[in-house]
Structure 1
Amino acid sequence: MRETSLSAAHVLLDGALRPATITIRDGRVSALAEGADPSADVAVDADTYVLPGIVDTHVHVNEPGRTAWEGFATATEAAARGGVTTVVDMPLNSIPATTTPDALALKRGRAAGQVRVDTGFWGGAVPDNLGSLEGLQDEGVFGFKCFLVDSGVPEFAPLDRDQLHAAMREVGGFDGLLIVHAEDPAVIAAAPSPPSRAYADFVASRPDAAEVAAIATVIDAVREHGTRTHLLHLSSARALDLIADARAEGLPLTVETCPHYLVLDAASVPDGAAEFVCCPPIRDRGNQDALWDALVHGVIDCVVSDHSPSTAAEKTRGGGDLQQAWGGIAGLQVGFVAVADAALRRGVGIERVSAWMSAAPARVATVRGKGAIAVGHDADLVLWAPGASYEVHADALAHKNKLTAYDGLTLHGRVTRTLLRGEPVFDAATGGVPTAPTGRLLRR
């Protein structure tokens, strides 16, 4: 039985920073004591905070099939370097997509022995596997992702309205979770989409109305079937009133947004800058302010990366025509610090940031033993130095492909160590990660 202790003047416990000593036994928090203990095995510097490890439930690892875009080794190293101790992998853009138990087994086989942080998996709900989703549920996926619009890859087809209702009935029948990319295909088809290098033209091709219409469709289905449902990567603040009304009604609906919507704004995107292209798009500063307000008031539950990289060739396809660029932001390694920096500028404390990026994603996806420093939980910890700062250099990121919308940003705050079940998986002082990956594969 291995036991160790860690003590710090600023430990985030029950939503507040306080002096505390954490005892860790066999990878779990076995005791918490008030007050810092200088004789602990690890005494953390007084200017460093100890927070729960970040839980990122929206990561596209892409392995197998599109491993040139990203992979378990590179993605989970990036996670560890960014303070993320748990990721849940999306069912696309891997080939095969995670829509059958056999595909899930293949993905788990590829991940085994590669992951540096704990890693779980979403299943997919597509037209071809409706009626057989419970097999994936039984194999331990955390829920089922569906699209209401073209996903961008042919092996993951969207659901129409009738298929959405069928998925809701099926998933609700075994008390599963349906997670939805909510953009309306008819609205997008009617929007202007000329070849253009201007980001404003790209935003106009994925208008607010597409999110609002699709979210209204989802809410109607949730009302009819009562299925636990999660809205992915909310971009448009114009849908917030619909969401707030649905939640006030008591519907089992949760919502996420992403660091890029909270940190970046459309007006600052240079022409032809494909690294900023994502679906739904980054919108204007007023929209961003409204998303922050919704987080503070609990209308949005959590913040996750939607890390969706591709090769440079895919990202820059079209030579600057943003309509042809792969839609996805690479930000797994920097998302937490970017949000913490933006929150500081708005007078929002790290306690709230941790709740949105650790406790809430763990709660929404039911990732047990994660998201808080608490007795019985895994001792997943991130040491964060709020007084430090650094400039993001894309080439220095662990992501397999280095193109990122965060390149060149100066961020205040820095991850100095990441601990997975009490053991370091990243240490800035040594500049690296352990030789042997120690992450585990998670089941719901």
Structure 2
Amino acid sequence: MTSTRVFPSTTGLSASQTRPTKKKFIEIKKTGTRHTLKHHKTVKCSKEALTDVCGDFFLYKGPVKTHLQKNPPRNVYIKGPIVDARAISKEGLIYYFSTPRNAIPPTTTQEAWQQKMDAAKDQCWVDVGFWGGVIPGNCEELRKMVSSGICGFKCFLIHSGVDEFPSVSYKEVELALQQLVDTNSVLLFHAECDVGPTIADSDPPEKYSTFLASRPSRMEELAIEQVIRLCETYKVRCHIVHLSASSALPMIREAQGRGVPLSVETCHHYLSFAAHQIPDSSAQYKCCPPIRDQDNQELLWGAVKDGTIQQVVSDHSPCTPDLKMPGTMDFMQAWGGIASLQFGLSLFWSGASKRGYSMQDAVRLLCEAPASQASLSHRKASLRPGMDADFVIWNPQESFTVEESMILHKTRAQVTPYLGQTLQGKVYKTVLHGEVIYEDGKLLHGIPIGGFL
């Protein structure tokens, strides 16, 4: 047998299995330029090819980030190797999609997309894809970008937080959808709309209750109502990013039930925190839409379980500490975004395991659904023979407490709310293209081996 590597004594898993398969050997085969998977009950191989996995841990197709801002806002793309290598591999991530807004130039033209790929060439620690952006006046760019291989686009129905990526009107959304008909592309929506003033100028800006009142659920409900209407009219796949308002779930379920091609995600922070847990003057918890109350959180968990929500993502949105207003912790002026890179798998499993979710649910929500959205199910997110040799080995039973010294993403602990949290599930190895790139706290590859999707 000629093999790159063999992984024994693991518990392999896919969402379609009713129970894990014990004691399976996974062989990594090189076919042309790809490393793919092959399964065996028994194998003969050299000692050098046999990789210890520390016992009966789960061999799990690595989670996928389809919603991640790599850069702090307004940073020029890109300085140094793409994304925080140790942080992303510590979570077991094997590929992610970068959203179009934060890094300059925004990914709203064919030229800007090419600039980003040129800048990131040979700097990808994992496989990387890009979402394009829909802004006023760029509809003529969309089909060119689709033809060049971009998987989909994102737009904002409210101010995006940066002037370089303006929001779109519903008429402009229609123009974009007209361009995307029959392309199999997908349009992602930041689905909040302006409903006018909801707080008084005298309301204290450092109180979380003030910020929460400034972004009521109605903002999401009205926007999603229009997204459903447009999605049904043009039959183009549409996706709601970071759903926070459970009050929108009934209309979403009804639309999905009549065949509208609408998918939805929620985020780890909406499933991990509730409004009553957020102290005043703690802008590290600020995100848009906001974290809402405990009842809302449980309704989101229920929608994740019944399939109304198909994905759970990080929406990792880093910023430099000064943008979180450390002097005043003014919720109204602070940057809206939560940094969670490297903890996503553990964050999800910490809440899901207490609510009766299975590992198959985790595979479906964190791996298979995101890959399907990005039209990558033929290569990624499964341990089936012939799929890309990318996966994670982790222990879902082991817990750990988030300490500042272990936080690896560049924005560090000042701007993450997870410091001090006890999480369930620890990643031990991350395998990309058949190579172990992360093992027990250490990044093993000195050079990036990822590529573009």
Fold equivalence (TM over 0.5):
yes
Structure 2 residue matching 1:127: 3-state secondary structure: coil
Alignment partner, residue 131 of structure 1: 140
**C-alpha spacing 1:71/1:90, structure 2 compared with 1 (3 Å):** farther
**In the TM superposition, what is the alpha-carbon distance from 1:437 to its structure 2 partner?**
1.1
Alignment partner, residue 4 of structure 1: 5
**In the TM superposition, what is the alpha-carbon distance from 1:180 to its structure 2 partner?**
0.6
Pick aligned residue for 2:39 from 26, 29, 32 = 32
- Is the CA contact (8 Å cut-off) linking 1:70 and 1:401 kept in structure 2? no
Q: Which amino acid aligns with 1:5?
A: V
Pick aligned residue for 1:83 from 70, 92, 95 = 92
Alignment partner, residue 199 of structure 2: 192
Structure 2 residue matching 1:209: 3-state secondary structure: helix
Q: Is 1:404 aligned with 2:404?
A: no
Distance in 2 (alpha carbons) for counterparts of 1:394 and 1:36: 43
Distance in 2 (alpha carbons) for counterparts of 1:134 and 1:68: 24
Q: Aligned runs of 1:400-439 on 2, under 5 Å? A: 400-402=410-412, 403-428=415-440, 431-439=442-450
- Is the CA contact (8 Å cut-off) linking 1:184 and 1:210 kept in structure 2? yes
Distance in 2 (alpha carbons) for counterparts of 1:342 and 1:292: 9
How many equivalent residue pairs?
Answer: 439
Alignment partner, residue 121 of structure 1: 130
- Is the CA contact (8 Å cut-off) linking 1:77 and 1:433 kept in structure 2? no
- Is the CA contact (8 Å cut-off) linking 1:383 and 1:415 kept in structure 2? yes
Distance in 2 (alpha carbons) for counterparts of 1:36 and 1:240: 49
Alignment partner, residue 325 of structure 2: 316
Deviations 1:399-432 (A, max 9, x none): 111121111101121011110122111111x633
For structure 2, the 5+ residue unaligned runs are none
Q: Is 1:216 aligned with 2:225?
A: yes
**In the TM superposition, what is the alpha-carbon distance from 1:345 to its structure 2 partner?**
1.6
Q: Aligned runs of 1:50-89 on 2, under 5 Å? A: 50-62=59-71, 66=75, 72-89=81-98
Pick aligned residue for 1:371 from 359, 371, 381 = 381
Deviations 1:59-88 (A, max 9, x none): 111289515999753434321111111100
**C-alpha spacing 1:62/1:25, structure 2 compared with 1 (3 Å):** same
Distance in 1 (alpha carbons) for counterparts of 2:359 and 2:350: 9
Q: Is 1:164 aligned with 2:176?
A: no
Using the TM superposition, name which of 309-318 and 175-184 deviates more. 309-318
Alignment partner, residue 441 of structure 1: 452
Distance in 2 (alpha carbons) for counterparts of 1:238 and 1:122: 28
Distance in 2 (alpha carbons) for counterparts of 1:63 and 1:197: 23
**In the TM superposition, what is the alpha-carbon distance from 1:321 to its structure 2 partner?**
1.1
Pick aligned residue for 2:26 from 22, 26, 29 = 22
- Is the CA contact (8 Å cut-off) linking 1:63 and 1:95 kept in structure 2? no
Structure 2 residue matching 1:128: 3-state secondary structure: coil
**C-alpha spacing 1:36/1:346, structure 2 compared with 1 (3 Å):** farther
Using the TM superposition, name which of 301-310 and 361-370 deviates more. 361-370
Using the TM superposition, name which of 69-78 and 223-232 deviates more. 69-78
Distance in 2 (alpha carbons) for counterparts of 1:5 and 1:382: 14
Using the TM superposition, name which of 277-286 and 349-358 deviates more. 349-358
Pick aligned residue for 2:295 from 250, 269, 286 = 286
**In the TM superposition, what is the alpha-carbon distance from 1:317 to its structure 2 partner?**
6.2
Q: Give the fraction of aligned pairs with identical amino acids, expressed as a percent.
A: 36
Using the TM superposition, name which of 433-442 and 354-363 deviates more. 433-442
Q: Which amino acid aligns with 1:59?
A: L
- Is the CA contact (8 Å cut-off) linking 1:55 and 1:370 kept in structure 2? no
Q: Which amino acid aligns with 1:192?
A: I
**In the TM superposition, what is the alpha-carbon distance from 1:295 to its structure 2 partner?**
0.9
**In the TM superposition, what is the alpha-carbon distance from 1:105 to its structure 2 partner?**
1.0
- Is the CA contact (8 Å cut-off) linking 2:125 and 2:450 kept in structure 1? yes
Distance in 2 (alpha carbons) for counterparts of 1:260 and 1:37: 45
Q: Which amino acid aligns with 1:6?
A: F
Q: Which amino acid aligns with 1:329?
A: I
- Is the CA contact (8 Å cut-off) linking 2:9 and 2:56 kept in structure 1? no
Alignment partner, residue 381 of structure 1: 391
Q: Which amino acid aligns with 1:21?
A: F
**C-alpha spacing 1:202/1:65, structure 2 compared with 1 (3 Å):** closer
Structure 1 residue matching 2:296: 3-state secondary structure: helix
**In the TM superposition, what is the alpha-carbon distance from 1:132 to its structure 2 partner?**
2.3
For structure 1, the 5+ residue unaligned runs are none
Using the TM superposition, name which of 260-269 and 8-17 deviates more. 8-17
- Is the CA contact (8 Å cut-off) linking 1:9 and 1:35 kept in structure 2? no
Alignment partner, residue 364 of structure 2: 355
**In the TM superposition, what is the alpha-carbon distance from 1:441 to its structure 2 partner?**
1.3
**In the TM superposition, what is the alpha-carbon distance from 1:131 to its structure 2 partner?**
2.5
**In the TM superposition, what is the alpha-carbon distance from 1:200 to its structure 2 partner?**
1.8
- Is the CA contact (8 Å cut-off) linking 2:77 and 2:105 kept in structure 1? no
**In the TM superposition, what is the alpha-carbon distance from 1:364 to its structure 2 partner?**
1.3
Distance in 1 (alpha carbons) for counterparts of 2:288 and 2:363: 25
Distance in 2 (alpha carbons) for counterparts of 1:241 and 1:23: 45
**C-alpha spacing 1:68/1:24, structure 2 compared with 1 (3 Å):** closer
